[in-house]
């Protein structure tokens, strides 16, 4: 098929120039009008279950195990990469995936074979947590990393933790991937408006396990 000359040359150049100018006026990273961006729903402004969030122990966490009236059994230990730990009279006990209270009750059961009516308290320090409880920030963040989720964490909190956006970031094309396996959903989030323009309406709640993806600007 022969392409009519009217579709190329000066006329096409004017159309391309107009589109390019529109991109410059709206900001290179502000591309919410594009179909592939509009196809993603905006991130919800509520986080169901956030108020009931309870920290889950994960590999790398430090534990303070206090056994009442038994100082020789009280100690500080680290959760190994396999999710277990060992301490006096207790070997290879699974800690990962449990709350501190649940773990304290299991330690009491294990120590009950050696002492009468043990009373144990477990506190956590050096928070790392399970992978599915972390928030991972990847792409054009100043310091991409996985950070422990904190109750009522927002996108702004996550961006502060990773040092903000790079100069090459397309912040308004960022997305949050939420869920796992076949139930994953993707939401768009306006980080450019939030961080560089101070638009607090663009701040959205994060949830444990979220992946915040920040793409690079096209030009």
The pLDDT score that the predictor gives to residue 219 is 65
pLDDT of residue 52: 81
CA distance 170 to 29: 4
Q: List, in order, residues 6 or more apart from 76 with CB less than 8 Å away.
A: 62, 63, 64, 65
Residue 142 has a pLDDT of: 98
Predicted pLDDT at 21: 45
Write out residues in the chain with pLDDT < 50, as ranges. 1-8, 12-13, 15-36
CB atoms within 10 A of CB 18: 10
CA dihedral 40, 166, 209, 188 (to 10 degrees): -10
Task: Write down the pLDDT at residue 122.
Answer: 98
Residue ranges of domains in the chain, CATH in brackets: 28-51+131-214 (3.10.560.10), 62-125 (3.30.1950.10)
- Tell me how far apart the alpha carbons of residues 87 and 89 are, in angstroms, rounded to a whole number: 6
- Tell me what pLDDT residue 208 has: 94
Tokens of 81: 């990469």
Q: Cα–Cα distance between 85 and 63 in angstroms, integer?
A: 9
Distance CA(188)–CA(134), nearest Å, equals 19
């Amino acid at each position: 098929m022969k392409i009519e000359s009217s579709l190329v040359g000066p006329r096409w150049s004017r159309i391309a120039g107009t589109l390019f100018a529109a991109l410059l006026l709206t900001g290179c990273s502000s591309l919410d009008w594009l179909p592939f961006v509009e196809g993603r729903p905006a991130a919800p402004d509520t986080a169901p279950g956030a108020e009931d969030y309870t920290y889950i122990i994960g590999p790398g966490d430090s534990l303070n195990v206090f056994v009442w009236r038994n100082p020789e059994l009280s100690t500080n230990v680290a959760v190994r990469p396999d999710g277990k730990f060992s301490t006096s009279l207790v070997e290879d006990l699974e800690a990962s995936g449990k709350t501190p209270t649940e773990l304290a009750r299991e330690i009491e059961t294990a120590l009950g074979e050696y002492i009468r009516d043990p009373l144990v308290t477990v506190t956590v320090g050096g928070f790392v947590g399970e992978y599915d409880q972390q928030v991972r920030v990847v792409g054009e963040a100043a310091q991409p990393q996985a950070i422990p989720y904190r109750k009522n964490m927002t996108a702004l909190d996550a961006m502060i933790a990773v040092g903000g956006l790079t100069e090459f970031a397309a912040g308004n094309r960022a997305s949050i991937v939420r869920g796992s396996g076949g139930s994953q959903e993707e939401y768009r989030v306006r980080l450019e408006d939030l961080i560089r323009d101070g638009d607090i309406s663009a701040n959205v709640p994060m949830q444990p396990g979220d992946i915040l993806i920040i793409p690079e600007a096209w030009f």
